[in-house]
């Protein structure tokens, strides 16, 4: 359940979110001037190979903070000029707050915030992540993760030479994720991912470089299109939806290009999985 936080609570839970990270950590703050504690906690996260995403704004990074952050290998940094939001989250918890990651804020300012958990505040968490993605898409990438070794992607390519280019190398990992998320469906991976009767009987899903939902003629295709088209467009305005004859074909945004690396792999899987989830929820509601 969501918790209201005062100044001291904000500082405490921001530290706990950094400490509690297991895979990913995201920090959104217009202004940066790290306290000694925050610097140490971020260094700990770096040593544990946690993927850190930082989005900052307003002005260039202060020299001290830039030196610290650019020494990290597991961090990507975005600049958003009109950023005013402050939000910090890991894999399971989030704070939406008035507090910058700014040393002065921790010492003198009166702050308020809301602490939410993914499990108990699922809807709020989901909407917040969607807004974070929008902010990130509107930002400029200044530093990306440094890739030491490509063990994950190499093992994927070595397992099956059919998945060796940037248009299909996401399929094995995406297939596994879909099986975990939707255990009641039979997910098959051949040259493409195929799922019969998804999300319900009469619709088949096929995923390759695009996503295709094919409708049986027994379904009222025009009625589904009329009811769901604008909803999907509003949920994912950057995605291209094409309603053809008994088929919905979906393409990632025009400017999206994946790189053949572990970073590109995760980006591809995340994007295609999010599209699949969104269509599933839209068609079943």
Confidence of residue 29 (pLDDT cuts 50, 70, 90): very high
What mean pLDDT, rounded, does the chain reach?
Answer: 88
Bond before 56 cis per omega within 30 degrees: no
Q: Out of 41-50, 149-158, 248-257, pick the least confident.
A: 149-158
**pLDDT at residue number 224:** 92
**pLDDT at residue number 154:** 54
The C-alpha atoms of residue 236 and residue 219 are separated, in whole angstroms, by 25
Residue 16 reports pLDDT greater than 90: yes
pLDDT digits (tens, 9 = 90+) for 159-214: 466 776 777 888 998 999 999 999 999 999 988 999 999 999 999 999 998 999 99
Residue 72 reports pLDDT greater than 50: yes
pLDDT digits (tens, 9 = 90+) for 95-133: 999 999 886 566 678 999 999 999 999 999 999 999 999
- 107 Cβ contact list (under 8 Å, min separation 6): none
**pLDDT at residue number 149:** 45
Q: Out of 27-31, 65-69, 177-181, 262-266, pick the least confident.
A: 262-266
**Domain spans, the chain:** 3-143, 151-284
Higher pLDDT, 183 or 62: 183
**pLDDT at residue number 147:** 60
Higher pLDDT, 146 or 248: 248
The C-alpha atoms of residue 13 and residue 88 are separated, in whole angstroms, by 9
Say whether pTM exceeds 0.75.
no
Note the CATH architecture for domain 3-143.
2-Layer Sandwich (3.30)
Higher pLDDT, 233 or 157: 233
**Percent of the chain scored above 70 by pLDDT?**
90
């Amino acid at each position: 359940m969501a918790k209201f936080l005062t100044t001291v609570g904000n500082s405490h839970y921001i530290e706990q979110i950094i400490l509690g990270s297991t895979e990913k950590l995201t920090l959104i703050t217009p202004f940066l001037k790290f306290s000694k504690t925050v610097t140490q906690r971020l260094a700990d996260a770096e040593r544990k190979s946690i993927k850190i995403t930082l989005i900052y704004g307003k002005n260039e990074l202060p020299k001290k903070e830039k030196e610290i952050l650019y020494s990290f290998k597991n961090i990507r940094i975005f600049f958003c000029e009109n950023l005013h939001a402050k939000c910090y989250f890991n894999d399971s918890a989030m704070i939406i707050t008035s507090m910058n990651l700014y040393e002065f804020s921790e010492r003198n300012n009166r702050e308020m915030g809301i602490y939410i958990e993914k499990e108990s505040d699922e809807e709020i968490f989901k909407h917040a992540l969607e807004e974070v993605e929008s902010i990130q898409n509107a930002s400029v990438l200044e530093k990306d993760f440094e890739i030491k070794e490509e063990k994950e992607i190499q093992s994927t390519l070595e397992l099956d030479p059919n998945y060796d280019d940037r248009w299909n190398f996401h399929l094995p990992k995406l297939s596994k994720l879909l099986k975990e998320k939707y255990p009641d469906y039979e997910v098959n991976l051949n040259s493409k991912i195929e799922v019969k009767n998804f999300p319900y009987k009469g619709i088949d899903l096929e995923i390759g470089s695009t996503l295709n939902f094919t409708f049986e003629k027994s379904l009222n295709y025009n009625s589904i299109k009329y009811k769901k088209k604008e909803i999907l467009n509003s949920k994912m305005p950057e995605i291209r939806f094409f309603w053809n004859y008994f088929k919905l074909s979906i393409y990632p945004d025009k400017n999206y290009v994946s790189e053949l690396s572990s970073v590109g792999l995760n980006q591809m899987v995340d994007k295609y999985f999010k599209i699949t989830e969104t269509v599933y929820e839209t068609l079943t509601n």
